[in-house]
Structure 1
Amino acid sequence: MTLDRPVTPDPYPLLPAVPSFDVTSTDVTDGRPLDDAQVNAGGDTSPQLSWSGAPEGTQSYVVTCFDPDAPTVSGFWHWVAVDLPADVTSLEAGAGADDDALPAGAFHVRNDGGGKGFMGAAPPPGDQVHRYYFVVHAVSEPTLGVDGDVSPAVVGFNLAFKTLGRAILHGTYQH
């Protein structure tokens, strides 16, 4: 059964405009299907990410993975890693396993599946193709000012006021 609904817009152009910078991955190719490792049933392994060219004044980063195509009003947050130090410009595959896999001082907030870490793609069987936006947010403060008990929505609210730039890479998946 395919759910009949319109395609959700790319959410990032709907936010206040900020400069972009570069993000690449050895595991995700922009606009292409995700590898099995990034799928919930295939391993739940966060992809390798590297970024460069963040705006001057960047003091920390937040890395997120968001699926706007989930059959909910609010989409689905698969990964939110907060307070990555400004001198960190890459994460190895699997860094989303838990807080211990992140650089010192960084932490996860709960994803929409209930865990603190990366949750791989898991759209409903037969649903449309889903997009998974891996985004590195350059932050103007050394910390975002939240703790690990907040929701991804609270992280997003704080990012609205502290984001200097955004690097975006997206993969796709259909079950």
Structure 2
Amino acid sequence: MAMPPSPYDFLPRVASFTVTSDDVTDGRTLPNAQVSGIMGAGGEDVSPHLSWSGFPEGTRSFAVTCLDPDAPTASGFWHWSVCDIPVEVTELAADAGNGSGLPEGAVTLRNDAGSNRYIGAAPPAGHGPHRYFFVVHAVDVPSLGIDSSGSPAFLGFNLFSHSLGRAIVTPVYEQK
């Protein structure tokens, strides 16, 4: 079975830049730390370390998102969404997604499990491999004006008209 296209292929093209991680790698299986314990997959719900560089001139802030487009829903499953990360911040430590490791002013939105934090991978057993798109978005305004009650879809709607660039790393995970 062929892998479906990236959901980002359907958005307007923007500049690309570089994201690296000490924890996750394109095409490689997520470590147990990035798998969900909250949703019963036996993991730790620790957001990965992310570091980025080479973003476009005019960037005024960043947003970080994690989407599983392969979830058995019509809209995928949002694991993590943070916006209004100050432009001088170009790295998030592992477990920043619990909220305590984020810079002042950053806003964590609720994930599709209903909490304002990172929640790890937990695809249905036997559903096959799922892709986890960890995306750093370069944003043209210092704040998108979204509060913590906002949804990741609403953030995406705002990013549609405010993204200057994207950096993507896409690990995978499967429960047998």
TM range (shorter): over 0.9
2:140–2:162 contact (8 Å) kept in structure 1: yes
Over the aligned positions, Cα root-mean-square deviation in angstroms equals: 1.2
Secondary structure at 2:171 match in 1: strand
Q: What do the CA deviations read for 1:109-162 (whole angstroms, capped 9, x no partner)?
A: 000011101000000011110000000000000001211111111000000000
TM norm structure 1: 0.94
Q: Give 5+ residue unaligned stretches, structure 1.
A: none
Alignment match, 1:11: 7
1:8–1:68 contact (8 Å) kept in structure 2: no
Shift of residue 35 of structure 1? 0.3
Alignment match, 1:63: 64
Percent identity over the alignment? 58
Secondary structure at 1:115 match in 2: coil
Secondary structure at 1:42 match in 2: coil
Shift of residue 8 of structure 1? 3.7
Distance 2:4 2:85 in 1: 29
2:67–2:132 contact (8 Å) kept in structure 1: yes
1:31 to 27, 30, 43: 27
Alignment match, 1:79: 80
Secondary structure at 1:47 match in 2: coil
Q: Give 5+ residue unaligned stretches, structure 2.
A: 37-41
Distance 2:145 2:13 in 1: 22
Secondary structure at 1:101 match in 2: coil
Shift of residue 103 of structure 1? 0.3
Alignment match, 2:101: 101
Runs ≥4 residues deviating over 3 A: 5-8
Secondary structure at 2:97 match in 1: coil
Distance 1:166 1:29 in 2: 16
Q: Report the residue type matching 2:85 in the other structure.
A: L
